Structure 1
Amino acid sequence: MAKVYVFLADGFEDVEALIPVDVLRRGGVDVITVSTTEFPLVESAHGVNIEADIQFEQGDYSDADLLMLPGGMPGASNLFAHEGVRQALKAHFEAGKKISAICAAPAVVLAPLGILDGRKATCYPGFESELKNAQYTGDLVTVDGNIITAEGPAAAFPYAYELLTQLVNKETSDQIAEGMRFKHLMV
């Protein structure tokens, strides 16, 4: 079973975190939400308090198949400010493992760490100037090797289904998308 850690910082975008968590869990992925604050409760950008499964210090991120970053502001900035998150992302990247980020997180977290250097990536419009060493695609979802990026809140479902495809398989992703009535929206 694939394992994913989702890093949550105060100010994260609700749907960018919770839609992928929901879709991945429906697809049989072991998803662990991680508070990067000093408390288990993390406040979203829209004032929703989410109790994370673990606090950052409790995790061993070396066993992850994917590290995932929701966007939102100041959530993405708060993720970048967390030394442990930066170190976990660097180690994961150096090991050639999958990393995903949506909205502001590709530009605010991954780009400054050099993770997007020479890669195709997308992010929330207005942040693309921060992708200095990456090729901005402007797509809803962009996959470049082991790095998956997405544009923003409206991309949360396509992003989640792409992550499920990457971690499990396309058949499972398509079945979950159909069961959640996503497929008929795309006709």
Structure 2
Amino acid sequence: MKIIALLLSDGFEEGEAINVIDILRRLELSVKILSCDQTVSLTSYHGVKIVADDLLSSKIQCDFDAIVLVGGPPNTDKLGTDSQVIRFIERHISMSAYIAALCSSGAKVLAKNSLLGSHHYVCCGNFHQNYSDGSYINQPVVMDGQFITGQDYGYTIDFAFAIAEVLLGDTRTRSNDVSDVDWVAKHINYRRFTEYKL
């Protein structure tokens, strides 16, 4: 089973985090919510409280198939300046794991720390203008090599399906007619935006 680490700290965007968790777990992918704070009890940008599965510090040596980051100004400010988080992401980049960043995290975590290199990416607003790393493209979801980025909250479900698609490929355990990813999209009556591959 593919294992995904979702990195969160206080002030994360709850709509993005919960929708990503929901889609990935519907597809029977293992999502581990890791707190980058000193406690597993976290409060979102709009005051929703959740309990992480574990602290990042206790899983720092573990390997994951994908690392996921979401937005929320306090969350991305913290993650983008946390040396433990950056080293964790760098190690997974070197392992060729997928790095998925939604909303401001593409700019404020990845580009800020020169993790994108020449890869294309998208983020919300004009945050990309603050950094020279990466090559910004204005589209809902961008997939370039091991990097998957989503523009903002409005494209969270497409972003989550993009992560699932690279991890599961054309797996067909629910139907011989369509992939599991397409089956779940149809099951929740969601029309996927699929033109995000470079």
TM-score range, shorter chain: over 0.9
Letter in 2 for 1:59: K
Q: TM-score, normalised by structure 1?
A: 0.94
2-structure distance, mates of 1:55, 1:33: 8
Superposed CA deviations along residues 113-166 of structure 1, whole A, max 9, x for unmatched, are 222121110000221213413221111100000000110100101001111101
How far the C-alpha of 1:40 sits from its partner, in A, is: 1.0
Structure showing greater relative contact order (alpha-carbon pairs closer than 8 Å, 6 or more residues apart): 1
Given that residues 150 and 159 in structure 2 are in contact (C-alpha distance below 8 angstroms), is that contact kept between their aligned partners in structure 1? yes
Structure 2, unpaired ranges of 5+: 171-178
Q: What is the DSSP-based 3-state SS (H/G/I as helix, E as strand, rest coil) of the residue aligned with 2:33?
A: strand
1-structure distance, mates of 2:120, 2:91: 21
Alignment of 1:76-91 (within 5 A): 76-91=76-91
Letter in 1 for 2:102: I
1-structure distance, mates of 2:123, 2:19: 17
Letter in 2 for 1:69: L
Counterpart position of 1:51: 51
Match of 1:182 among 174, 183, 190: 190
Runs of at least 4 residues off by over 4 Å = none
Q: TM-score, normalised by structure 2?
A: 0.89
Q: What's the RMSD between the two structures over aligned residues?
A: 1.7
Structure 1, unpaired ranges of 5+: none
Given that residues 5 and 61 in structure 1 are in contact (C-alpha distance below 8 angstroms), is that contact kept between their aligned partners in structure 2? no
Aligned length: 186
User: Alpha carbons of 1:135 and 1:178: their partners in 2 closer, same or farther (altered >3 Å)?
Assistant: same
Q: What is the DSSP-based 3-state SS (H/G/I as helix, E as strand, rest coil) of the residue aligned with 2:73?
A: coil
Q: Share of identical aligned residues, percent?
A: 27
1-structure distance, mates of 2:130, 2:142: 16
Q: What is the DSSP-based 3-state SS (H/G/I as helix, E as strand, rest coil) of the residue aligned with 1:101?
A: strand
Q: What is the DSSP-based 3-state SS (H/G/I as helix, E as strand, rest coil) of the residue aligned with 2:112?
A: helix
